[in-house]
């Protein structure tokens, strides 16, 4: 039987809220099984960019990463956000180690080809170095990945954090029974966006199509759900979506996705 492994992606609204972040990190640190944390930091990058006079360029909710923006997100993602999270986890006796995809050659990617839009220095993932990550887990480290990969030729790349979490879960599934958690400000996938308690507790491939047809799953939830089912179709055991309370063992109000 494979050992269990949790891959947890934390959303930007949780990172922005100091109270919610502290609550999340407390729950995360108490998870008994080996675990990996993945985070972004887009809102922090936008905020710091304003102070530095660097305007954010967004298309369809996705950041255009030119050379100047890449410097900014490297400072924020791999520096400010990552190290603050690592320091807070260390304070909770969780032996975290902060990483980008370049560290240990953990996450390889290529620069997204230009089609209708030139996203700049944005990476699409080619592979995850499960041996490096597994070695860190086996000696007791808790990897904390920021949303950056590299191309193996010296170039850092901005990479979607949901996708990084999904690809890590897939890559590690050869050795571990992996569960992927997307932790954000909502309690799960909602039937009614105006009602925070209208959580759809279980979604499989069939109900997913029904929710798509009824446009209950739409807009920003679409790429997240794509990552969920991409993971499930590639050997990830299950995916859970919910707020901070989802990580508590007695919590039941969140969404679980299976095939």
What CATH number corresponds to the domain at position 115? 3.40.1160.10
Per residue in 115-163, pLDDT tens?
989 999 999 999 999 999 999 999 999 999 999 999 999 999 999 999 9
Distance CA 69, CA 252 (A): 40
Per residue in 206-242, pLDDT tens?
999 999 999 988 887 888 899 999 999 999 999 999 9
For residue 257, the cross-strand partners are 203, 239
User: How much is the pLDDT for 56?
Assistant: 85
Evaluated on CA atoms 105, 171, 146, 88, the torsion sign reads: negative
Residue spans of beta strands (DSSP E) within the chain? 4-10, 35-39, 58-59, 62-63, 96-99, 107-111, 123-128, 142-145, 148-150, 156-158, 177-183, 202-203, 238-242, 255-257
Distance CA 178, CA 133 (A): 13
User: How much is the pLDDT for 248?
Assistant: 79
User: How much is the pLDDT for 183?
Assistant: 96
Q: Is the pLDDT of residue 251 over 80?
A: no
The fraction of the chain above a pLDDT of 90, given in percent, is: 84
Q: Which residues constitute the domain of residue 186? A: 4-257
């Amino acid at each position: 039987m494979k050992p269990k492994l949790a891959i947890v992606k934390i959303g930007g609204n949780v990172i922005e809220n100091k109270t919610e972040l502290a609550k999340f990190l407390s729950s995360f640190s108490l998870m008994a099984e080996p675990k990996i944390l993945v985070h972004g930091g887009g809102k922090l990058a936008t905020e710091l960019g304003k102070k530095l006079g660097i305007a954010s360029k967004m298309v369809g909710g996705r950041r255009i990463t030119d050379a100047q923006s890449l410097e900014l997100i490297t400072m924020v993602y791999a520096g400010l956000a990552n190290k603050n999270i690592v320091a807070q986890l260390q304070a909770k006796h969780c032996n975290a180690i902060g990483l980008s995809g370049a560290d240990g050659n953990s996450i390889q990617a290529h620069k997204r080809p230009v089609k209708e839009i030139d996203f700049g220095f944005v990476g699409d993932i080619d592979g995850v170095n499960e041996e490096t990550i597994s070695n860190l887990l086996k000696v007791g480290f808790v990897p904390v990945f920021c949303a950056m990969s590299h191309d193996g030729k010296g170039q850092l790349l901005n990479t979607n954090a949901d996708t990084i979490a999904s690809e890590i879960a897939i890559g590690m599934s050869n050795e571990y029974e992996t569960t992927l958690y997307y932790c954000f400000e909502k309690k799960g996938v909602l039937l009614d966006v105006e009602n925070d308690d209208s959580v759809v507790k279980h979604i499989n491939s069939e109900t997913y199509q029904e929710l798509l047809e009824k446009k209950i799953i739409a807009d920003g939830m679409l790429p997240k759900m794509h990552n969920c089912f991409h993971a499930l179709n590639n050997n990830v055991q299950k995916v859970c979506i919910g707020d901070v309370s989802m990580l508590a063992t007695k919590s039941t109000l969140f969404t679980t996705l299976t095939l």
